[in-house]
Amino acid sequence: MSPNYMRSFSEGCLRPPTVIGQFHTLFFGSVRMFFLGVLGFAVYGNEALHFSCDPDKREVNLFCYNQFRPITPQVFWALQLVIVLVPGAFFHLYAACKNIKQEDILQNSLYTGFYIFSVFLRIILEAVAFWLQIQLFGFKVNAIYMCDVGALEKKFNITRCMVPEHLEKTIFLIAMYTFTVITVILCVAEIFEISCRRLGILKSQ
């Protein structure tokens, strides 16, 4: 791919054809990624090391932590961010290959339809991620986790484990749910903006 295509692709990703899309990019790229990258590491970075069970043995702690966290929240949210970016990235890659200018996207019905479809995909992916997060992490992190260690052939099948900094993790969970809701609202608002521009209610940029 030539440098011109790469420049058009990067400009499309950073400067979508709608005002709300540009705000979404700013919110998604700056606030959400900063929150996850910096604060997420501070909250979850050493969780496995401080996760302790009774008896406090390495094999028990490791077994129960894997049961408690089938996937770590940082990995889940990082995958969510990447996957949600895919529809928009594909559209802007298509626009770059076809040499479509951002200001022309909303002037052409076909291009507008493709762009709206990419926004709908983002909404669907965010909704799926929201549901999966509920299934995996719930809305609250309890201080005590009851672990089933029967597979380790221990005397007692259930053991108590201490979850470090459970209140901070609960706050972080709620924040990530909030970010997902805000992103979905922005996507819906972007579709509304596109509709208003096509109907002539709003002037084109």
**Which two structure tokens, joined as six digits, stand for 129?**
């991620």
Q: Any idea where the domains of the chain sit in the sequence?
A: 3-9+18-196
pLDDT of residue 73: 85
Q: How far apart are CA 121 and CA 187, in angstroms?
A: 10
pLDDT of residue 81: 85
Q: How far apart are CA 38 and CA 119, in angstroms?
A: 27
Q: How far apart are CA 115 and CA 113, in angstroms?
A: 5
Q: In terms of CATH, what superfamily is 3-9+18-196?
A: Gap junction channel protein cysteine-rich domain (1.20.1440.80)
**Which two structure tokens, joined as six digits, stand for 14?**
């950073």
Q: How far apart are CA 178 and CA 44, in angstroms?
A: 18
Task: List, edge to edge, every strand of the sheet that includes 158-162.
Answer: 52-53, 158-162, 144-148
Tens digits of residue pLDDT in 129-183: 999 999 988 888 898 888 888 777 666 688 888 888 888 889 889 988 998 898 8
Q: How far apart are CA 143 and CA 86, in angstroms?
A: 36
